[in-house]
Amino acid sequence: MNSWALALLMAAVFAWWFSPHQLRLRSVVPSPPLAVVTAGKKWWVRIDALARKTRYTAQRRRAMVDVVEALAGELNAGQAPIQALQFALDAGPVDFHRFAQSIRLGADPLSQCTQLARIPGCEAALSLAACWRVGSNAGSGLSDTMTQLAQGLRDDLAVRAEVQSQIAGPQATARFLAALPVAGPVLATALGVNFGAVLFTTSVGHWCVVLGLLLDVLGLWWVHRIMTSAYPIA
């Protein structure tokens, strides 16, 4: 979703809606209830928060692959497992460093991996913990296991990237269709139609603007739900 374009559109509408001229006009002309505008703003906040969560989750998922690959590399180089895990976590994002510090101070690596898995996108830490537990109980080396785990996680990222490329076309179409309500008034102005007399000075026009924007945002949200059913964010 083009968050910036949609944000600018919503900001322009709200700036117009609460302009001094419109406030004076609504004092004498019936207008849609403020609750409708507030509901639209809440929906936008939710959609923006979901987009931020999607980006954050994807970043942490890639970071977890890098952590497991770094761990496998350190183990293959002959580093002790505890020190290798500390190094791998320290090489990751800032919010991974506290887990490395806890392990350095004597915390159980399994419990730290379990806590790390609670971060969105870091679910692979559970697989890391399972491999660590099996390797500890069996007394076998972890390097081969971690190498295979890293390869599996890398393959999963490749599949996700392929799915994302497949849904990029429908997403672009949805964005284009969402922009058509904005292109309509521009085309009307080019043809000499005074649409502003209806949209900005009548109660019916106010309803058309507000409900049109709400339906536009709702449509984008619905398309996003369809896309995430094929490409889950969690």
Place of tokens 């004597």: 106
The half-sphere exposure of 53 on its side-chain side, counting CA atoms within 13 A, is 12
For residue range 118-136, list pLDDT tens digits in order. 999 899 999 999 988 887 7
Evaluate if residue 66 carries a pLDDT over 60: yes
- pLDDT above 90 for 87: yes
Q: What is the pTM of this model?
A: 0.61
Q: How confident is the model at residue 33 (pLDDT cuts 50, 70, 90)?
A: very low
Q: Where are the domains of the chain?
A: 3-230
Average pLDDT, the chain: 77
One DSSP character per residue, the chain reads: --HHHHHHHHHHHHHHHTSHHHHHHHTTS----HHHHHHHHHHHHHHHHHHHHHHHHHHHHHHHHHHHHHHHHHHHTT--HHHHHHHHHHTS-GGGHHHHHHHHTT--HHHHHHHHTTSTT-THHHHHHHHHHHHHHHT--SHHHHHHHHHHHHHHHHHHHHHHHHHHHHHHHHHHHHHHHHHHHHHHHHTT--THHHHTTSHHHHHHHHHHHHHHHHHHHHHHHHHHHHS---
Q: What is residue 30's predicted lDDT score, i.e. its pLDDT? A: 44
Q: Is the pLDDT of residue 225 over 60?
A: yes
Confidence band, pLDDT 50/70/90 cuts, at residue 180: confident
Angstrom distance (rounded) from CA 175 to CA 164: 16
Euclidean distance between CA atoms 152 and 200, whole angstroms: 57
Confidence of residue 28 (pLDDT cuts 50, 70, 90): very low
Q: Is the pLDDT of residue 183 over 70?
A: yes
Give the model confidence (pLDDT) of 139-164 as tens digits.
457 888 888 999 999 999 898 888 87
Cβ-based neighbours of 140, under 8 Å, separated by 6 or more:
none
Q: Give CA 164 to chain center in angstroms.
A: 13
Region 183-204 average pLDDT: 75
Please report which confidence band the pLDDT of residue 17 belongs to, taking 50, 70 and 90 as the band edges.
low
Per-residue pLDDT tens digits for 74-85? 988 888 889 999
User: Residue 14's pLDDT band (boundaries 50, 70, 90)?
Assistant: low
Q: How confident is the model at residue 222 (pLDDT cuts 50, 70, 90)?
A: confident
Of 179, 188, 189, the residue nearest 213 (C-alpha):
179
Is the pLDDT at 31 greater than 70? The verdict is: no
Of 40 and 171, the one with more pLDDT: 171
